[in-house]
């Protein structure tokens, strides 16, 4: 009984949720009562009819003196600008990670196919952890079996052995996460050989892919990203300006993407256009204390070799 009593003491007394839903108009009244300046109620109401109030409230936090009390003079439009900044940031990161993912699919499939054959990914001997490979390949077969891609259906109807398919088609079926796991579990010599395509140490590339997968999932769920502390921080090189980078913030991902796409065999226009759009976004900060710091961007990021 003593143990049970201590459990309830530590957990606290649970209470029933009693808050009632509010109309968009009442939501605005609540924000105004907390000190937010709303100059155009119609526009604010329209925005909240498109963006869930609970989602919007997360962007209010940097503008509050304490919870539910805004700094004097903070406007609805100012918070909306932060929301739009975050939305555009997610879009640009996701856009660049698509380029990285496709390049990785190509590099992995080309190398493994030419060294080990069409079904290289099926061979446990080329993987470090045989148990993880066994679990991984089951999931790949399940993904393949669920796929409705034309090339998968063609293979299924023409060749035996399905859901085993060649590596160059398998990489087009598997998720970014599954691709990252494949690379992470390869024997070190093969990791090193593939990493040379990207210009980084294999352990750095493996770590980046893990963080990229996590970041891609954040973007896919349209979650706040600009000041998020990353649950899966990346390993960064231990030289130059990298030493000042906060690997637990999204700025590290921005720097990593920028450096990585500069080494990929892609059209110059793709890289230049992305850098210009990101430059345009970052050069128009929202008026919030320590705006760049909470993103994890170093003070001289504009002049840093990580960006230029």
Rg of the chain over all Cα atoms, to the nearest angstrom = 24
Phi, psi of 249 (to 5 degrees): -120, 160
**What's this model's pTM, rounded to 2 decimal places?**
0.89
Tell me how crowded residue 267 is: count the other CB atoms within 10 A of its CB.
Answer: 10
Q: Following DSSP, what letter does each residue of 91-128 receive, concatenated?
A: HHHHHHHHHHHHHHHHHHHHHHHHHH-TTGGG-GGGBS
Each residue of 84-105: pLDDT tens digit? 999 999 999 999 999 999 999 9
pLDDT category of residue 3 using cuts at 50, 70 and 90: low
**Peptide bond before residue 153 is cis, with ω within 30 degrees of 0:** no
pLDDT category of residue 131 using cuts at 50, 70 and 90: very high
Each residue of 164-216: pLDDT tens digit? 999 999 999 999 999 999 999 999 999 999 999 888 899 999 999 999 999 99
For the ranges 14-23, 52-61, 187-196, the lowest mean pLDDT is seen at 14-23
For the ranges 4-13, 152-161, 258-267, the lowest mean pLDDT is seen at 4-13
Bridge partners (DSSP) of residue 305 are: none
């Amino acid at each position: 009984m003593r143990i049970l009593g201590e459990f309830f003491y530590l957990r606290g007394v649970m209470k029933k949720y009693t808050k009632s839903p509010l109309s968009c108009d009442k939501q605005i009244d609540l924000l105004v009562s907390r000190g937010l300046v709303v100059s155009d109620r119609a526009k604010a109401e329209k925005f909240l009819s498109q963006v869930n109030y609970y989602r919007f409230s997360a962007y209010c936090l940097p503008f509050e003196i304490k919870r539910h009390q805004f700094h004097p003079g903070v406007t609805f439009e100012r918070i909306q600008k932060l929301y739009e900044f975050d939305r555009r940031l997610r879009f640009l990161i996701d856009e660049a990670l698509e380029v990285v993912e496709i390049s990785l699919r190509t590099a992995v499939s080309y190398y493994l196919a030419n060294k080990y054959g069409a079904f290289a990914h099926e061979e446990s001997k080329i993987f470090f952890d045989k148990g993880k490979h066994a679990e991984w390949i089951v999931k790949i077969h399940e993904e393949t079996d669920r796929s409705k891609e034309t090339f998968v259906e063609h293979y299924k109807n023409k060749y035996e052995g399905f859901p085993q398919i060649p590596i160059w088609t398998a990489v087009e079926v598997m998720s970014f996460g599954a691709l990252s796991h494949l690379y992470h579990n390869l024997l070190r010599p093969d990791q090193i050989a593939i990493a040379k395509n990207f210009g980084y140490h294999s352990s750095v590339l493996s770590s980046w892919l893990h963080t990229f997968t996590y970041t891609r999932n954040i973007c896919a769920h349209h979650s706040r990203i600009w000041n998020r502390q990353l649950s899966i921080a990346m390993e960064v090189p231990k030289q130059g300006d990298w030493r000042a980078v906060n690997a637990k913030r999204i700025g590290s991902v921005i720097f990593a993407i920028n450096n990585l796409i500069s080494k990929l065999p892609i059209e110059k226009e793709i890289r230049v256009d992305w850098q210009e759009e990101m430059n345009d976004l970052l050069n128009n900060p929202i008026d919030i204390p320590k705006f760049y710091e909470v993103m994890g961007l170093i003070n001289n990021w504009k002049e840093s070799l990580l960006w230029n």
